[in-house]
Structure 1
Amino acid sequence: MKSARTALIATGCAAALLLSACGGQGGKTVRADGTMAPGSELKVGERAVVPFSDAGKSGTIAITVKSVEIGPKADLAEFKDKGEGSLPVYVRMVVENVGGTDLADTSVSVRAVNPDGKGTKVIMASGTPACKGEPAPAEFTKPGATYETCQTEGVKDGDDVGGVTFRDGEYQDDPITWKK
């Protein structure tokens, strides 16, 4: 009787470990192909593997949002009236070519969200001297190739930023979110 109960407990534990290894913990789910499921939530610093398409090229990349920080109002001085009432948000990322296809000169786009997960309603059309978004370098063509970039987003003056979302391709209606 005792050995049957021990076997049942061991089987239950093994099943729980197997299920936890598939993802699904803490709002993030990794699919069988290794990509992140739509609607997954991560913390800043965590890596998401996603199918990706830009500039007529497609492949699989990993995005690691390293930081999401509000910059000083003075960084928007060059925008004059267009920057009035806004603050810059600097999103620093590491992008990795997972699939090994030629993804040179592509750009990853994320959007800032407020603490409740809704858009900030401030769009920055270009970067600032403190955060110039660079496209993938010419060498971004092999598995494991990486580059770091910074994207400028924005929030209304006095508001806070809660994180960023990735909404490209299949994630349009149910984005991946990195929370601060």
Structure 2
Amino acid sequence: MTHARGPLFIASIATAGLLLSACGSQTGGQAVPAADPTSETTSTATSTKETSASKSAPVVPAGGDITAPGSKLKVGERAVIPITVGDKSGTIGVTVTAIEAGPKEDLAKFGDKAKNITPFYLRAKVENLSGTDLSFTSIGLRGLGEDGKGTGVIISGDTPKCDSTSAPRTFKAAGETYETCVLSAAQDGSKVAGAEYNRGDDYVKTPLVWQS
């Protein structure tokens, strides 16, 4: 399995709403022949435009609708998300399976920067729903406090109990899955109570949120 390891980094920030440092519907149609050349040209152009749009639209698995931006989910519930990375595109299922507090000792390698900081682990299961080649792609999650905002701590890296991984080479067929973990943190006495997905144009301003 490929590991998407980033540099170790941790910082406490006074303001809330900070990003964690961690690493359209389908269209289609068929032109209807028109009675005059002008209409026929318009219909042909429309058909060409729609065909182009269909090729770039995410592949939605049968029986699975894309999860609307801004949706609120419970930990354990799956979101269906379109993904495009470089020339790869398709649809994945993302399930945040757990939000766990870790022992402070797990941050020992951060040194004094980890003083008064408690680690939290955002664990997720990712499934290939579209059956397209999504090997080596990855997801990003941001930890949220009990108030639904950022925790005020930016952290990246891995610990022995939280390994951030990208999709394996075999992540090319429908039904393939892998599990990953995103390291988050909060000031001592506070907690990470939710996880946010804010990648892709549709989810940047209106993220998906899982709540424990």
TM-score (norm 2): 0.67
Q: 1:96 aligns with which of 127, 137, 161?
A: 127
* 1:126 aligned partner: 157
Match of 1:175 in 2: 207
Report the count of equivalent residues: 149
1:32-111 mapped onto 2 (5 Å cutoff)? 34-54=65-85, 56-111=87-142
Structure with more contact order per residue of length (Cα contacts < 8 Å, sep ≥ 6): 2
Supply the AA of the counterpart residue of 2:77: E
- Following the alignment from structure 2 to structure 1, what is the Cα–Cα distance between the partners of residues 120 and 83? 23
Deviations 1:5-25 (A, max 9, x none): xxxxxxxxxxxxxxxxxxxxx
Give secondary structure in 2 for the equivalent of 1:77: helix
Unaligned residue ranges in structure 2 (runs of 5+):
1-62
Opposite residue 102 of structure 1, the aligned amino acid is: D
Q: Which moved more, 1:50-59 or 1:102-111?
A: 50-59
Structure 2 letter corresponding to 1:146: T
8 Å CA contact 2:64, 2:80 repeated in 1: no
Provide the secondary structure at the position in 1 that maps to 2:154.
Answer: coil
* Cα RMSD for the two superposed structures: 1.5
Amino acid at match of 2:96: V
SS class of match (1:124):
strand
Letter in 1 for 2:160: P
3-state secondary structure, aligned to 2:106: helix
Identity, % of aligned pairs?
47
**TM-score (normalizing by structure 1):** 0.78
Question: Tell me, what secondary structure is at the counterpart of 2:113?
Answer: helix
Matched letter for residue 104 of structure 2 = K
In 1, the alpha carbon distance for the partners of 2:189 and 2:88 equals: 39
Work out whether residues 55 and 106 of structure 1, in 8 Å CA contact, stay in contact via their aligned partners in 2: no
For residues 64 and 42 of structure 1, the distance between their equivalents in structure 2, rounded to whole angstroms, comes to 9
Partner amino acid, structure 1, of 2:206: D
1:53, CA displacement in angstroms? 2.7
Structure 1 residue runs of 4 or more that deviate by more than 6 Å after TM superposition: none
